[in-house]
Amino acid sequence: MQPFAAAELVEERVDTPAGEFLVRRPRDPASLISEESFGEDEYLPYWAERWPASERLCRTLPADLAGERVLELGCGLGVPSLCCARRGAEVLATDWSGDAIELLRANAAHNKVGLEARRVDWRYPTEVLARAPFDLVLAADVCYERRNVAPLAALLRALGAPVLLADPGRAPAGELVGELAADFTVDEAGPWVRRLSPRAAPARDERQQCASGTGPAR
C-alpha cells in the first residue's frame, strides 16, 4: 500500500450552490488499496473518490444554515460539509478513514472554511451520540453494502434528527429507508436525495443502546 501522505494529490475546482471549492484528493485512489486493511475489515479507500451522490446532496442543502448543528456520516472528501460550513453551520464531519479526515481538515483550511472533522466508525458511534442533538444529518452514498444497513439504521434512529440521504439507487439504501419507515416520514428532496423527518424524538435509552465503544483505526 502507498501511504496516503506519499500519495500524489490533484486539486480540482468543485462548483456547488454554496460557491466554488478547491478540493485536493489522491490522483490514483486505487494506489491506496491495502491487502492488509481489506483482509481485516474489507476496507477499501472509497473516501478518496468524488461520488455524484455528494454533488446531488449539495444541491438540496438549505440556503441558510446559520447556527445549525450539522453532522455528516461517511463524509469522504466532505464537500457537503464544506458547503454547510460556508453557509454558517456548525459542522461535524465524520468518516472511519483517518486519511479522509486528515485531508478534509486540510481542504477546509485551504478553502478558509471552519469545520470539525473526526474519525468515527458508524458501527461505534459513541462520540457522535454524545454530541447530539443535531439539526441535520447528511449521508451521501453511504449505503453501498448490506452490512451498512443495520448500523446506519440504528444510528439514525438514535440520533432522531432530519436526514438528507443521497444515493444513486443502490439496493441497500432502499433497505435502509424501509428499515426506518416506522420512525421517519420520507419524501423526495431532489434527484437521488430523500429527506427523512423523524416522527418523534428518540428515547434516551435508544441512544444509550446504540452507543458502544470506539471504532478501529483506519
Ligand X SMILES: C[S@@+](CC[C@H](N)C(=O)[O-])C[C@H]1O[C@@H](n2cnc3c(N)ncnc32)[C@H](O)[C@@H]1O
C-alpha 9/C-alpha 58 separation (Å) is 23
> Which residues ranging from 31 to 50 are in contact with ligand X (CB under 6 A)?
46-47
C-alpha 57/C-alpha 47 separation (Å) is 16
Which of 21, 51, 134, 192: binder of ligand X (CB under 6 A)? 51
Interface with ligand X, residue 76, by CB under 6 A: yes
Interface with ligand X, residue 99, by CB under 6 A: no
C-alpha 213/C-alpha 196 separation (Å) is 27
The nearer residue to ligand X, 54 or 107, going by C-beta atoms, is: 54
Beta carbons of 49 and 103 less than 8 angstroms apart: no
In DSSP notation, 52-109 reads HHHHHHHHTS-S--TT-EEEEES-TT-HHHHHHHHTT-EEEEEES-HHHHHHHHHHHH
Candidate segments 59-67, 71-79, 106-114, 157-165, binder of ligand X by CB under 6 A: 71-79
> Which residues ranging from 102 to 121 are in contact with ligand X (CB under 6 A)?
121
The nearer residue to ligand X, 42 or 64, going by C-beta atoms, is: 42
Beta carbons of 31 and 51 less than 8 angstroms apart: no
Minimum CB separation of residue 102 from ligand X in Å reads: 13
Count the alpha carbons within 13 Å of 128 in the hemisphere toward its beta carbon. 37
> Which residues ranging from 114 to 153 are in contact with ligand X (CB under 6 A)?
121-123, 140-142, 144
C-alpha 87/C-alpha 62 separation (Å) is 9
The nearer residue to ligand X, 40 or 201, going by C-beta atoms, is: 40
Interface with ligand X, residue 192, by CB under 6 A: no
Q: Which residues bind ligand X (CB under 6 A)?
A: 46-47, 51, 53-54, 74-77, 95-97, 100, 121-123, 140-142, 144
